[in-house]
Amino acid sequence: FVVPNHIVEQFSNEFLQLYPSANILVTTKKDFSKNNRKKFVSKIATGDFDAILIGHSQFEKIPMSIERQRYFLESQIEEIIEGIEETKALEGERFTIRELERTKKALEAKLEKLIAGVQSGDAQKSSDMFMKCQYMDEITRRKRRCVCHRNTSQQQYVRIIYNAEILAIQYISKKSLTTF
């Protein structure tokens, strides 16, 4: 679970109240010092934890290689291209096609910036979190889901939608579907 930094301890206490026998890993600032970061991420990937609780700023420090980010963006672009072709073949609405093309251009721009080495700004943080969650799911062989939590009502609404999207992606993957 990725939670706001100031409630990591509170969240862990409440989690243990609900699941007293749970084997949880709770991050500290010390775990994400420059010297300990790689070791800790390895512990996340190889450990057999029921839950991992991590603060937003710590989660942002988990490195993702340029190659992995590039792969993720290229995969999304491929899916969008397939969606455009499928929508055209089914004589779908022009509005849908235009929106897909707009999304494709935005992803291509992100990919170009990534290749050029341009750093992402605050607007990219949610996309980066999604990428990292997908990555964490892969390295743990989807045994655990990465869930991001915020603490405002608007952010809670976004979190619910985000979690629904993750569940939909997992369901679609299990059914071997590429679009819906």
Percent of the chain at pLDDT above 70?
69
> pLDDT (tens digit, 9 = 90+) per residue, 31-43?
888 888 888 888 8
**Once rounded to an integer, what is the mean pLDDT over residues 6-25?**
87
Q: What band does 122 get if pLDDT is binned at 50, 70 and 90?
A: very low
What type of residue is 166? I
Q: How far is C-alpha 7 from the chain's CA centre?
A: 20
64: its two tokens: 């993702």
The pLDDT score that the predictor gives to residue 7 is: 85
Angle (CA) 48-50-56 rounded to 5° is 105
pTM, two decimal places: 0.59
Q: How far is CA 29 from the centre of its chain?
A: 21
How much of the chain exceeds pLDDT 90, in percent?
7
From residue 146, alpha-carbon distances to 55, 115, 121, 128, 136 in Å are 12, 27, 22, 13, 7
For residues 150 and 157, give the distance between their C-alpha atoms in angstroms, rounded to a whole number: 9
Is residue 134 very low, low, confident or very high in pLDDT (cuts 50, 70, 90)? confident
Q: pLDDT class for 78, splitting at 50, 70, 90? A: very high
Query: In 10 A of CB 18, how many CB atoms?
Result: 7
Q: How far apart are CA 126 and CA 172, in angstroms?
A: 22
**Whole-number Å distance between alpha carbons of 179 and 83:** 7
